[in-house]
Amino acid sequence: MTSIRRTLWATALTAICGCLAAVGADEAAEKAPLLTAAAQQAILKAFPAATIDEVDTESEDGVEYFEVELEQAGKKLDVEVSAEGVIGEVGSAVQMEELPEAVAKIVVDTTKGARITRVEKHEVRGVAKDGKFVPVTPPEVGFEVKYTVNGRPAFIHVKEAEAGTARLTKLVIGKTGDDDDADDADDAD
């Protein structure tokens, strides 16, 4: 067994044991489900130096998947992975300095000096389709920037495009984010 696998198993077992002691066996099973072998392999392959902090189950468009919180090189990652081992979305907090130039320009132009409170990178590697996650090639990379304007929360979504370009895909003032489902029609505008 490799050291990465030992670390993953030790982390999972430690979390499970801690949950068992704190909330009982039934609740612990719900709070720390075990990943399938395929999901574990996908996580190990994509994030070989990461440790698992938490595992939950989620559902999107009828597809059940694992929401895995990882830590790699001091950075927290939220990773969606299906039981079959297809990675959906990878999210992480980033600094403004880490944004690609085209994305940073849109953010600066749109926020016009407002106080930026959080910047997140979202890399979509798979999407829910026909009851399963289907890989997206190449992955779609976007950024969500939360900020305040005139004391009101706001956010924008900016997607990277080809050849170092980017485009603004959503601007919302007065709300902090959407409901994370595929239906943007019911999101706050």
Fold of 94-189: Nuclear Transport Factor 2; Chain: A, (3.10.450)
What is the pLDDT, as a whole number, of residue 18? 45
What is the pLDDT, as a whole number, of residue 176? 62
Domain limits, CATH 3.10.450, in the chain: 94-189
What is the pLDDT, as a whole number, of residue 150? 86
**Could you give the CA distance from residue 93 to residue 146 in angstroms, rounded to a whole number?**
11
CB 134, CB 86: distance < 8 Å: yes
What is the pLDDT, as a whole number, of residue 177? 56
Mean pLDDT of each 10-residue bin along the chain, 189 residues long? 45 44 40 79 95 92 93 95 96 95 94 93 94 93 94 93 86 68 40
**Could you give the CA distance from residue 87 to residue 127 in angstroms, rounded to a whole number?**
9
CB 133, CB 82: distance < 8 Å: yes
